[in-house]
Amino acid sequence: MTADDMLTRFAIEPATRLTGFLTRFTYKPRWHFRVFPASHGLFDCNALQITMHTQDVNWPHGLVPVVGTVAIPEALPVMTDDQVMEWLREQIRRVELHEVDEWFKVDGKAPFDPHAKGNVT
């Protein structure tokens, strides 16, 4: 990457860079990715909101939205596509792991329940 490329990337807002990347990206059905620039006012930083619709472990009669929101790194404009892919993959992994930990049960108990006191996933 040349110095001019770096300057151009620094001039791009993190939310703009991620929005552009997401136009090229696909994932599972019923998963939605929405970028909120800091200027939107909903969050105090640039944020990515990941929403999936899935069967709830405690209410198996329909789909419920599961929402995860994460700050977009300020360095995202200068990250390579490979680095952006890794970062996005990790955010998806966090949402997926939360669901795994809710559904994973031994003898009817969820040993990794993310909603139990002291657990954070």
Compute and round to an integer the Cα radius of gyration of the chain.
17
Residue-range domain boundaries for the chain: 3-103
Give the sheet arrangement for strand 63-71, strand by strand: 31-36, 47-55, 63-71
Q: According to the model, what pLDDT value does residue 97 have?
A: 93
Of 64, 68, 70, nearest in space to 30 by CA: 64
Q: According to the model, what pLDDT value does residue 7 have?
A: 45
Q: According to the model, what pLDDT value does residue 57 have?
A: 85
Q: According to the model, what pLDDT value does residue 18 have?
A: 93
Per-residue pLDDT of the chain (121 residues; tens, 9 = 90+): 565 555 455 456 888 899 999 999 999 999 999 998 877 666 778 899 999 999 888 877 888 898 999 999 989 989 999 999 999 999 999 999 999 999 999 999 999 999 887 665 5
Q: According to the model, what pLDDT value does residue 60 have?
A: 76
d(CA 54, CA 61): 11
Which residues, including other chains, have CB under 8 Å from residue 12's CB and lie 6 or more apart? 77
